[in-house]
Amino acid sequence: MVQIGAMLPRLNQRFIKHYEQHGVNIALSYLKGSMCFLSTSSGGFTEHVELPVRRQRSERKPLVTSINHLKRNARLERKMRQDVREIMLKPPENGLLVKRLIPVAHEVYDARKELYDCVSLVLKSVLVHVCRVCEEVYVGKFPHQIRTCDVAGSLPTKEHCWVPGGTEHVLPVIDSFHLYDRLGRAVSHEERLQVDRIPAIVELCVQAGMDISEYPTKRRVYPVYNIAGKLIDFERKFPRDYSSGKDIEPHGFWLRKKDRIHCSTPSFSANEDLQDIALRGMNAWEKMRLGAIQLMRTYTVQTCGYCPEVQVGPKGHRARICQAYKHQMRAGQHAWQEATIDDLVPPVYVWHVRGLHTGGELLVHDMRRYYGKLPAVVELFAQAGACVGEGYGELMREDVAVPGLDEERLVV
């Protein structure tokens, strides 16, 4: 009896281990079976992607480079400045252009012009609505009924107040100070009204090698040297053939600026229909973003961590014009950090409308968790007949079946 009593705990432990292993096997088999329902036709698995949400005012943009890496680089630079010796600089840090990126700058500039032409033509057939309270954008014939207007001055029901929108709502323009010398000193607060402001992506193309007569920039022949942390430039501040503004017309400047930068003569043939124009616009959008990403890997772009301000160049400006979260603690200065492509070309995310060939569907508030989103310009071209790329498949949520209003309560 003593031996049997001693064996009972061992039998119980073996039974418990067997039962736990059996439960793990059942859970794994159930997980594999459920993943089969998520498998797509390409043999992969559809991952759940969170839809982009609007950032809170007190929330800072995520850093591209970790704070520990930034501190480590700052310590190394401080140690290198203590040694009085020359620090070798490579283009574009030494003021010279990167020759392999000059064609990319021209392609990005041309793609941007073509994109604006396509958007202006497609907007004549596809309607765009914008909320006059929270500035939410919707692309479609009938505005959606999703109650997400939750800002100061909105209705108690959080319903949107829709008004007709335009190109500036689909493609918002982020401006930047134009720098004659990208390695010169930063724009001060007193100079904020004396320096031209142009679209940031145009300024990026100019600094990468695109020449625009209205916005001259310094093209160095000899490199800049860095000695003990100080830049030594052996070229003249202004070249001998610099006009000093004698050929600039003083009247109608802002009108000519808007016409030359934001608009251009559309180069479309008469036999192109709306779908062909939308397809060209979609290709121009992708080409502009991919080219800008390639330029930003070499040419530095700074953005404020709390507001949409962008400055193309190795450092941000010193104009005290930030009115975002806790700007009083910074005396109006911007909290500069490394920018991303979404800071330079912000994609305005809108709700995606399915069933475009059958007249579309009316988006209601109770079904909002089944809907997807797309950038406004992509949704605009998609409703005009262009094919959406595979990179937006997860955001569109085309693989999610939207139940009926009477079936929604039965969804687990």
- The DSSP letter of residue 215 is B
Report the half-sphere exposure of 31 (CA within 13 A, side-chain side). 6
Give the Cα separation of 127 and 110 in Å (integer): 26
Q: pLDDT truncated to tens, each residue of the chain (412 aa)?
A: 444 444 445 545 554 455 455 444 433 443 343 333 333 334 444 555 777 778 888 889 999 989 999 999 999 988 887 887 888 889 999 999 999 999 999 999 999 999 999 999 999 999 999 999 999 999 998 899 899 998 888 899 999 999 999 999 999 999 999 999 999 889 999 999 999 999 999 999 999 999 998 899 999 988 998 887 788 887 766 555 554 444 444 444 444 454 444 444 456 766 678 999 999 999 999 999 999 999 999 999 999 999 999 999 999 999 999 999 888 899 999 999 999 999 999 999 999 988 664 455 788 888 888 888 999 999 999 999 899 988 888 888 877 777 776 566 666 5
Q: End-to-end CA distance of the chain: give it in Å, rounded.
A: 53
CB of 239 within 8 A of CB of 220?
no
pTM of this structure:
0.80
The backbone region for 209, taken as left when phi is positive above 0, alpha when psi lies in -120 to 50, beta otherwise, is: left
Look at residue 355 in the predicted model and tell me its pLDDT: 67
Please name the residue that has the structure tokens 């997980």.
Answer: 31
Residue 336's beta-bridge partner residues?
304
Position 380 scores a pLDDT of 94
Please write down the long-range contacts of 57-64, taking CB distance under 8 Å and 24 or more positions apart.
Answer: 57/306, 57/324, 57/325, 58/325, 58/326, 59/325, 60/305, 60/306, 60/325, 60/335, 61/303, 61/305, 61/306, 61/337, 61/343, 63/337, 63/338, 64/337, 64/338, 64/339, 64/340
Encode burial over 165-184: b for 16+ CB neighbours within 10 A, e otherwise. Answer: bebebbbebbbbbbbeebbe
H-helix segments, 39-195: 67-82, 102-122, 167-170
Beta bridge partners of 138: 129
Instruction: Pull the structure tokens for residue 157.
Output: 């029901």
Q: At a CB cut-off of 8 Å and minimum separation 6, what does 107 contact?
A: 287, 291
Tell me the three state secondary structure of residue 76: helix
CA 177 – CA 121 distance, rounded (Å): 30
Contact between 294 and 104 under an 8 Å Cβ cutoff? The reply is yes
Give the pair of three-digit tokens for residue 232.
Answer: 């030594």
Q: Which two tokens stand for residue 292?
A: 């800008």
Q: Nearest to residue 383, comparing CAs of 268, 281, 265, 271? A: 281
Structural contact between residues 53 and 351, judged by C-beta atoms closer than 8 angstroms: no
Which pLDDT does position 35 carry in this prediction? 36
CA angle 237/240/246 to nearest 5° reads 95
Q: Decide: 288 and 118 in contact? Cβ < 8 Å.
A: no
CA angle 96, 101, 106 (to 5 degrees): 110
d(CA 284, CA 288): 6
The three-state secondary structure class of 138 is strand
